[in-house]
C-alpha cells in the first residue's frame, strides 16, 4: 500500500479524530489544522504520531488551510478529511456559527485553487462529513425523528446542505458522508451504507437512528483513505447501524 498524505480539518474530536487515528495506524502521513494543537496532541498521547504534522490555525483562514494542503512544495495532498462543525447552543436552538461548514468548505476550495495558480499540482479527494435529514431525494431518517431534524437540527442541517452544494458544484473529486445520529464509543456493529448520486438521486437506501463518531471515522479511513472504494467517488453516502 502506497503512503498517502492526508489533510485533516476538524480532527481534534469525534469523527475526524477517529479517521486520523486510523490513518496514522495505516502508516499514512497526516497534516492536521487545529486552533489548539495541545487538544489534539493530548487526544493522541497513546498513538504513534511520527507521521503527523500539526499546524496551528483556523479552518476559515485561507493561508492556514493552504499550508495544510501541500504535501510538498510542488504537490497537493492526496486526500482531505473535512469534519468541522459548530457547537450547539441550546438557548438559541442553533449552533455558535450558523455558517461554519459553508465558510470552511469555501476556504478549502479557494485554497486549492490558489495553490494551483502558484504551480502546486494535484487533485485531492475531498471527504466531507455531513448529516442525514437533508436529502433532496426523499426521507433518509426514521419517520419518528423527522420533527427533531426540522426543529433542533434545522440550522446545522441548513449549513451542511450549503456545504454539500458548494462541494458538489465544484470541479473537485469528493465523497460526502452523511452520518445518522452521532453517539460515542467504538463498536463492532455492522454499518449499513446508502448511496445517493447528487444529480440522479438515490441508488440505495440505509435508514437508521444512530452511529458512533468513532465508527464513522473508522469507516471513512477504511473505505475512502486506506483504500478508496470507487463506488463512493463523487457520491453522497449515508452510514448508520
> Cα Rg for the chain, rounded, in angstroms?
17
Q: What is the pLDDT of residue 152?
A: 82
Check pLDDT > 90 for residue 47: no
Q: What is the mean pLDDT of residues 19-23?
A: 97
According to the model, what pLDDT value does residue 89 have? 81
- Shortest CA distance to 175 belongs to which of 55, 19, 24? 19
Measure the CA–CA gap between 197 and 176, rounded to whole angstroms.
Answer: 10
Please state whether beta strands 173-179 and 125-131 pair in parallel, antiparallel, or not at all (unpaired): parallel
Q: What distance in Å separates the CA atoms of residue 77 and residue 81, rounded to the nearest whole number?
A: 11
Residue 238, pLDDT above cutoff 80: yes
- Output the CA torsion sign for 153, 159, 162, 167: negative
For 153, the grid coordinates are 437540527
For residue range 85-116, list pLDDT tens digits in order. Answer: 988 787 776 789 999 999 999 999 999 999 99
Percent of the chain with pLDDT over 90: 90
- For 54-68, how does the pLDDT look when each residue is reduced to its tens digit (9 = 90+)? 999 999 999 999 999
Rounded to whole angstroms, how far apart are CA atoms 134 and 160?
8
Model pLDDT, residue 150: 87
Q: What is the largest CA-CA distance in the chain?
A: 51
- Predicted confidence at residue 92, as pLDDT, reads 74
Amino acid at each position: 500500500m502506497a503512503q498517502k498524505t492526508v489533510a485533516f480539518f476538524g480532527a481534534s474530536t469525534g469523527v475526524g479524530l477517529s479517521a486520523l487515528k486510523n490513518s496514522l495506524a495505516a502508516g499514512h502521513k497526516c497534516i492536521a489544522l487545529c486552533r489548539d494543537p495541545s487538544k489534539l496532541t493530548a487526544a493522541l498521547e497513546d498513538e504513534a504520531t511520527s507521521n503527523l504534522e500539526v499546524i496551528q490555525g483556523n479552518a476559515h483562514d485561507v493561508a492556514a488551510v493552504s499550508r495544510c494542503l501541500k504535501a510538498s512544495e510542488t504537490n497537493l495532498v492526496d486526500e482531505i478529511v473535512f469534519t468541522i462543525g459548530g457547537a450547539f447552543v441550546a438557548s438559541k436552538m442553533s449552533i455558535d456559527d450558523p455558517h461554519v461548514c459553508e465558510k470552511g468548505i469555501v476556504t478549502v476550495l479557494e485554497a486549492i485553487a490558489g495553490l494551483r495558480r502558484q504551480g502546486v499540482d494535484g487533485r485531492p479527494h475531498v471527504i466531507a462529513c455531513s448529516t442525514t435529514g437533508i436529502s433532496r431525494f426523499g426521507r433518509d431518517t426514521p419517520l419518528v425523528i423527522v420533527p427533531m431534524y426540522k426543529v433542533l437540527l434545522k440550522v446545522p442541517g441548513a449549513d451542511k446542505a450549503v456545504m454539500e452544494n458548494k462541494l458538489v458544484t465544484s470541479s473537485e473529486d469528493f465523497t460526502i458522508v452523511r452520518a445518522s445520529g452521532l453517539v460515542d464509543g467504538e463498536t463492532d456493529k455492522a454499518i449499513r451504507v446508502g448511496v445517493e448520486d447528487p444529480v440522479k438521486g438515490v441508488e440505495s437506501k440505509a435508514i437508521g437512528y444512530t452511529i458512533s463518531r468513532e465508527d464513522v471515522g473508522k469507516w471513512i479511513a477504511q473505505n475512502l483513505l486506506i483504500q478508496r472504494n470507487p463506488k463512493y467517488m463523487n457520491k453522497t453516502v449515508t452510514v448508520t447501524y
